[in-house]
Amino acid sequence: MQEYAVRMALRDRPELEALASEYQQVINQRLKPLKAGQLTNVFGPKLESQRELTPQRLTNHVALPLFAPPIVSLSGLLVTNDQSHADLYAMGDIGYAWFVYQWDGSLEYARLVLYLRPDASFVPLKTEADFTTRLEWEKAKWLALQQWLDVHLPKATTKPRNRSSASNTN
């Protein structure tokens, strides 16, 4: 996959550091506290549910932000009765939230991933030269995604610290 190779070459760019921190804060402070029973109230009905835990299997076209972790690792060591699954929810027309549940079948999250929804101005990563244009597209989508969460999530007591500075840097 060409985008993956370019993404890996760009992953340590200093422009991504603040956004990466912000991404993790949104997941940890705003999404992880949600209980599985609250998800349809926030996001609406799930788009799909699956046992196969790979983004390539998603039927919706998704774009992993450059500032998101490029690899998701889940412990499966000695798990013989894997009852894990993942549910995908839309965040309007801006992006998607992917909730991956624990192997034991519980409704505890093993991992949460946020994706952006490509649109007509989406910039695929074909070469490293696409970085600046892609990052500008992602910053605008990321800000819109956070605004969507502000409207739809229960009010957070702590919002991500770097939101205005990271999203507005060039």
pLDDT band at 23 (very low <50, low <70, confident <90, very high): very high
- The answer to whether the beta carbons of residues 16 and 67 sit under 8 Å apart is yes
Q: In the beta sheet, which residues pair with residue 91?
A: 95
Task: Give residue-wise pLDDT tens across range 105-145.
Answer: 777 788 899 999 999 999 998 999 999 999 999 999 999 99
| Sheet of 95-101, strand order | 48-50, 86-91, 95-101, 109-116
- The answer to whether the beta carbons of residues 88 and 47 sit under 8 Å apart is yes
The string of DSSP codes covering 107-122 is: S-EEEEEEEEPP-TT-
Give the pLDDT confidence score for residue 1 in this predicted structure: 43
Mean pLDDT for the chain overall = 82
Determine what percent of the chain is predicted with pLDDT higher than 90.
Answer: 48
